[in-house]
Amino acid sequence: MKDNRHFIGSICVRIGTERTKLELSPASIHGGGDGFRVRVNRRWLNAPEGGPLFVGPDRLGQLVADVALGGMPSSEPEPDLPVKTRVSIRRETDGIVWHDGAWTVSPPIRGYDGRWYVAVTTAHKGIGFVPVSSVIRSNRNGHTE
């Protein structure tokens, strides 16, 4: 079995008397692309869904702050939005609020920011991810619930 404990750097943060050590390993040796796989106090940090968490250089500072100040932010439980659910997407353009009819094409996934996202398909925009907070579930008649 290949040893993936190759680190290219570490960060040690002390808040009061509490110390936290973050070790950075290249994501590429763990099956990721660009960025890092992070080990916190000798334990690998995993994504909320359970798989490895890969962090890009642009997100590393926020991750360090989150971990040093009490861990990853906890978020709400997974929303009940199965695939093929009829929804409306709340959008705002130039101060005008409008709703776009859509269907979900993926189950909800949690982003690193702790928010839930779902892939939807619309007639105007095609397929894209939107925050679940902007999704309004529709009933069989197309009315929102």
Q: What is the mean pLDDT of residues 99-120?
A: 83
Amino acid at 6: H
Question: What pLDDT score was predicted for residue 75?
Answer: 46
Considering the domain boundaries, does residue 124 fall inside one? yes
Domain count, the chain: 2
Choice between 49 and 85, residue whose per-residue pLDDT is larger: 85
Name the average pLDDT for the chain.
81
Q: Would you place residue 16 in the very low, low, confident or very high pLDDT band (cuts 50, 70, 90)?
A: confident
For the stretch 72-95, pLDDT in tens is 544 467 889 999 999 999 888 888
Amino acid at 121: T
Q: Are strands 9-15 and 109-110 parallel, antiparallel or unpaired?
A: unpaired
Do residues 99 and 90 make contact, with C-beta atoms less than 8 angstroms apart? yes
Considering the domain boundaries, does residue 74 fall inside one? no
Q: CA 103, CA 98: separation in Å to the nearest integer?
A: 16
Same domain (yes/no): 16, 54: yes
Same domain (yes/no): 61, 111: no
Q: Which two tokens stand for residue 118?
A: 């779902």
Same domain (yes/no): 93, 121: yes
Length of the chain: 145
The three-state secondary structure class of 63 is helix
- Is pLDDT at 115 greater than 80 in this prediction? no
Question: What pLDDT score was predicted for residue 76?
Answer: 63
Range of the domain at 50: 9-68
Q: Would you place residue 119 in the very low, low, confident or very high pLDDT band (cuts 50, 70, 90)?
A: very high
Domain end call among 68, 95, 114: 68
